[in-house]
């Protein structure tokens, strides 16, 4: 657990000093929402509102990939990946530290995106902000767990900016589908639909366990 805390604290402290990932992801998300606002038909408020759940999670996905690509870049630039591989404990705790830090960033960006979308599309979300935070937390957990694993794989490749989306996006479909379904239910009826929330939780658990177990072999490569 000391390795988990050390890696988590290091990533959070580095990001707090530079804020390069968080600022880039937040600006990207806000600009993408505004672009969608301009592109959607203005004469049909119902269609614009119906597009919000998909918009939120598509923007969140691409913002996540933007930030996750930098997850291991600092270690690569400073040649410290070998140091992570030599930690005298299960390397899965290194993964947990990195994934938790990524989850914090992704969750924060998703909540900011939700606020920007609510303002842009004039949607009253005061009553569903807390339930959406739960959906955002679970959705970000799935993105962070699988994204961190594939970011560690892609960082050693020549075209890592391309490899991460190619590896992660197909497997992230269950996370996105269930997150969109839960968000749509919140906007339509104001409550979280249990089936997509259960699917999201189970998918997160599977991805987290598989990533924890396989991260040891990823660092060896």
Q: Considering the entire predicted model, what is its pTM? A: 0.89
For 115, the domain range is 2-220
Residue 163, C-beta contacts closer than 8 angstroms, at least 6 positions apart: 150, 153, 154, 157
Number of structural domains (the chain) is 1
pLDDT in tens, 199-212: 999 999 999 999 98
| Percentage of the chain lying above the pLDDT 70 cut | 88
pLDDT category, 145, cuts 50, 70, 90?
very high
pLDDT category, 144, cuts 50, 70, 90?
very high
Distance of CA 56 to the CA centre of its chain: 12
Residue 115 confidence (pLDDT) above 70: yes
At 132 the pLDDT is 92
Residue 142, C-beta contacts closer than 8 angstroms, at least 6 positions apart: 172, 174, 175, 179, 200, 203, 204, 207
At 77 the pLDDT is 66
């Amino acid at each position: 657990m000391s390795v988990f805390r050390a890696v988590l604290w290091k990533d959070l402290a580095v990001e707090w000093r530079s804020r390069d990932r968080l600022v880039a992801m937040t600006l990207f998300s806000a600009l993408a929402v505004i672009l969608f606002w301009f592109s959607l038909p203005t004469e049909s408020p119902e269609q614009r509102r119906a597009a919000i759940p998909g918009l939120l999670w598509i923007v969140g996905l691409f913002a996540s990939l933007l930030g996750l690509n930098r997850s291991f870049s600092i270690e690569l630039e400073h040649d410290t990946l070998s140091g992570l591989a030599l930690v005298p404990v299960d390397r899965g705790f290194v993964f947990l530290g990195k994934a938790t830090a990524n989850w914090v960033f992704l969750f924060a960006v998703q909540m900011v995106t939700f606020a920007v979308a609510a303002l842009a599309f004039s949607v009253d979300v005061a009553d569903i902000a807390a339930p959406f935070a739960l959906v955002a937390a679970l959705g970000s957990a799935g993105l962070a767990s699988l994204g961190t694993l594939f970011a560690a794989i892609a960082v050693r490749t020549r075209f890592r900016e391309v490899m991460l989306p190619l590896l992660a996006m197909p497997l992230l479909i269950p996370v996105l589908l269930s997150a969109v379904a839960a968000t749509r239910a919140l906007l339509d009826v104001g409550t979280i639909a249990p089936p997509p929330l259960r699917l999201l939780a189970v998918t997160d658990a599977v991805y987290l366990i598989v990533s924890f177990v396989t991260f040891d072999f990823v660092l060896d490569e």
